[in-house]
Structure 1
Amino acid sequence: MPISPWIVLAAAALEVAVGNPEAWRWRVPHPVAWIGALISRLEMALNRPGRSESARRLLGVATLAMIIGVSGLAGWLIQRLGGPYLVALVGAMGLAQRSLLDHVAAVALPLETGDLQEARKAVGMIVGRDVERLDESGVARAAIESLAESFNDGVVAPVFWFVAGGLPGLFIYKAVNTADSLIGHREPRWRAFGWASARFDDLLNLAPARLAGALIALAGRGGWTAMARDAGKHASPNAGWPEAAMAGALGVRLGGPAWYDGGLVQRPVLGEGRTPRPSDLSRALSIYMMACAILWTVLALGGFAWLR
């Protein structure tokens, strides 16, 4: 159910202009919160420790099918019964351009003024690593990696599926992405039950992640070589594309060792050159905003083609 790129562009512009005001959060709960609550309840009810791994995997597949059906049906009903203005308004809630910018800028400001403790606190809101171990370079690296990966998850992929599948496509993508975040882990509790959600999230992000990497390379006027060489080194089949492109565009190294829950994880290095500096985070934000502008331009061109 493709939708006019003009409607998607209007939703993107609305999200940047308005964001997600605090007042909306208690008056109208975000759709992701609804689907997250559903996933958590299903996980608690179905993912029983006493069940076999094969049974838990099968129940995980059923859970994925249920959340796809519920979210897709909700999107179809809104799009069917509402007009283009309502579709744009609801669609704006599935995008995260403004919120991603705000969260990463909240790290950049104290980092540039030398307030390392406040920068650690801010970056702890967007990454899962042990932030107390991070120096200035580590904070900058963590924020840049999160910005690049979230450019796909929060901007490019939602826009891609919004255009390709209308509100049902957007809702399904957000639901699956939320399921991957909540249950798509490798720890024993979730490994079998969340397997289907994690794999389907990988599938939905295959094309958008590569598009996100290309947009970053275009916006940063570089990064193509690093992306082609290093994207496949990442543990994720998708996250490496925008992260490697950002590393190449900035001329820095991303990835490498990082502490999680008290344990040191040796991650592959993406890009080459020096380690990131605080100023590189501001440069990454500029590249991010330019990449969003290029994406908007693509939507506008698609809108003109849609009218022909």
Structure 2
Amino acid sequence: MFLFAPFIVCVFALALDCLIGEPRRWHPVVGFGNLATAVEKKLNMAPDNPTRSLLAGLFSVCLLVAPILGVTLWVSTALGGALLVLAQALALWLAISLRGLAEHGRAVAEPLRTGDLEKARNQVSRVVSRKASALSEQGVAAAATESMLENGADAVFASLFWFLVAGIPGVIMHRMVNTLDAMWGYRNPRFQYFGRVAARLDDIMGWVPARLTAFTYMVLGNRKLAWWCWHNQAPQWDSPNAGPVMATGAGALNVRLGGPSPYPSGVKHRPVLGGAQDASYASVEAAITLVQRGVWLWLGAVLMATVLIFLVAYSS
């Protein structure tokens, strides 16, 4: 039973996500984000001073992460048996967002399918930071497709990976660091130095999960094109983790992503990723399906690994 506990936890957490989805009220990630906003307003007092801003960012990360991490370590050691399995499943459920990812993606894909561009722009503005009003139909579809692929890595596969590696402390630590990076990891005057610690921690914690996600996309899609995109296009991307995920995902779907995109600060020229097909509502749906199939693949791999370990232990 103990050997099969990680698989049981993953299945239980994904079942809760499928049946309930994200909590609509009192979501701990939202509460953590609100706390992070308050801390940043209090401590990020000298954004134009690199040293002070960097130290303030380091102190803020420690202040926010250390107490919660301590609680998760205590829970992991104090509980045992069925209670620990239940606590792990609840923690993983609160960290993953497979149903939420699909809901946000389809909220964009459906109006694109029916030709309601304004509604699609409004919906995509909820999941990306681009200037939605300036996006064409293809631009909206590309933005949503990119969001599905990247959030599949951050909000699904990375959470599963860190739970399997380090239990509750691992999955909660990753979710906190990823949230801080999403809030503070901007290269602008206010966060250039203050958010650097959170951004680097997120790069470190996301390095292995991002490449496992890219491998998953490649296995389940157009393998030859995905492999080529991973090795030739990913290095051109600014982010060391988003590059492999998005390039390989675009190749797996044979869809063209990246390129110039409008942001509130102006047009950002990004490398072109993927294949020859234009993004559309169908590519958004295909990206959602790719992530969902990837989760099934991971569950199968975890079960197979568990059975092999059980057979080896039993035979010895």
Fold-level similarity (TM above 0.5): yes
Q: What is the aligned counterpart of 2:293 among 290, 303, 306? A: 290
Q: 1:303 to 1:9 in 2, by over 3 A?
A: farther
Q: Is the 8 Å Cα contact of residues 119 and 139 (structure 1) preserved in structure 2?
A: yes
Q: Is the 8 Å Cα contact of residues 148 and 242 (structure 1) preserved in structure 2?
A: yes
Aligned to 1:30: 27
Shift of 1:217: 1.3
Shift of 1:51: 7.3
Aligned to 1:19: 21
Aligned to 2:104: 103
Q: Is the 8 Å Cα contact of residues 140 and 276 (structure 1) preserved in structure 2?
A: yes
Aligned to 1:168: 169
The one-letter code sitting in structure 2 at the alignment partner of 1:214 is F
| Stretch deviating more after TM superposition (172-181 or 72-81) | 72-81
Q: What's the TM-score once normalised by structure 2's chain length?
A: 0.89
| Stretch deviating more after TM superposition (267-276 or 124-133) | 267-276
User: For residues 127 and 44 of structure 1, what CA distance do their matches in structure 2 show?
Assistant: 23
User: For residues 49 and 239 of structure 2, what CA distance do their matches in structure 1 show?
Assistant: 27
Shift of 1:164: 0.8
Aligned to 2:221: 220
User: For residues 102 and 299 of structure 2, what CA distance do their matches in structure 1 show?
Assistant: 16
Where in structure 2 are the equivalents of 1:253-268 lying within 5 Å? 253-268=256-271
The one-letter code sitting in structure 2 at the alignment partner of 1:128 is S
Aligned to 2:114: 113
The one-letter code sitting in structure 1 at the alignment partner of 2:17 is E
The superposition leaves residues 210-229 of structure 1 with CA deviations (integer Å, 9 ceiling, x where unpaired) of 11111111121421221121
Q: What is the aligned counterpart of 1:42 among 34, 39, 42? A: 39
The one-letter code sitting in structure 2 at the alignment partner of 1:4 is P
Q: What is the aligned counterpart of 2:68 among 68, 71, 80? A: 71
The one-letter code sitting in structure 1 at the alignment partner of 2:178 is N
User: For residues 252 and 66 of structure 1, what CA distance do their matches in structure 2 show?
Assistant: 42
Q: Is the 8 Å Cα contact of residues 253 and 283 (structure 2) preserved in structure 1?
A: yes
Shift of 1:156: 0.7
Q: For structure 2, list consecutive stretches of 5 or more residues without a partner in the other structure.
A: none
Shift of 1:306: 5.3
Q: What SS class does the counterpart of residue 267 from structure 2 fall into?
A: strand
Percent identity over the alignment is 33
Matched, 1:57 2:54: yes
Shift of 1:72: 1.2
Q: What is the aligned counterpart of 1:8 among 7, 10, 19? A: 10
Q: Is the 8 Å Cα contact of residues 91 and 172 (structure 2) preserved in structure 1?
A: no
Matched, 1:280 2:283: yes
Q: Is the 8 Å Cα contact of residues 250 and 284 (structure 1) preserved in structure 2?
A: yes
Q: What SS class does the counterpart of residue 127 from structure 1 fall into?
A: coil
The superposition leaves residues 185-213 of structure 1 with CA deviations (integer Å, 9 ceiling, x where unpaired) of 11111111111111110110000001111
User: For residues 110 and 45 of structure 1, what CA distance do their matches in structure 2 show?
Assistant: 41
User: For residues 19 and 47 of structure 2, what CA distance do their matches in structure 1 show?
Assistant: 49
The one-letter code sitting in structure 1 at the alignment partner of 2:58 is V
Shift of 1:170: 0.8
Alpha carbon RMSD of aligned pairs, Å?
A: 1.9
Shift of 1:303: 3.4
Q: Is the 8 Å Cα contact of residues 8 and 299 (structure 1) preserved in structure 2?
A: no
User: For residues 287 and 91 of structure 1, what CA distance do their matches in structure 2 show?
Assistant: 21
Q: What SS class does the counterpart of residue 48 from structure 1 fall into?
A: coil
| Stretch deviating more after TM superposition (194-203 or 82-91) | 82-91
Q: What SS class does the counterpart of residue 270 from structure 1 fall into?
A: strand
| Stretch deviating more after TM superposition (234-243 or 282-291) | 282-291
Q: Is the 8 Å Cα contact of residues 5 and 302 (structure 1) preserved in structure 2?
A: no
Where in structure 2 are the equivalents of 1:143-222 lying within 5 Å? 143-222=144-223
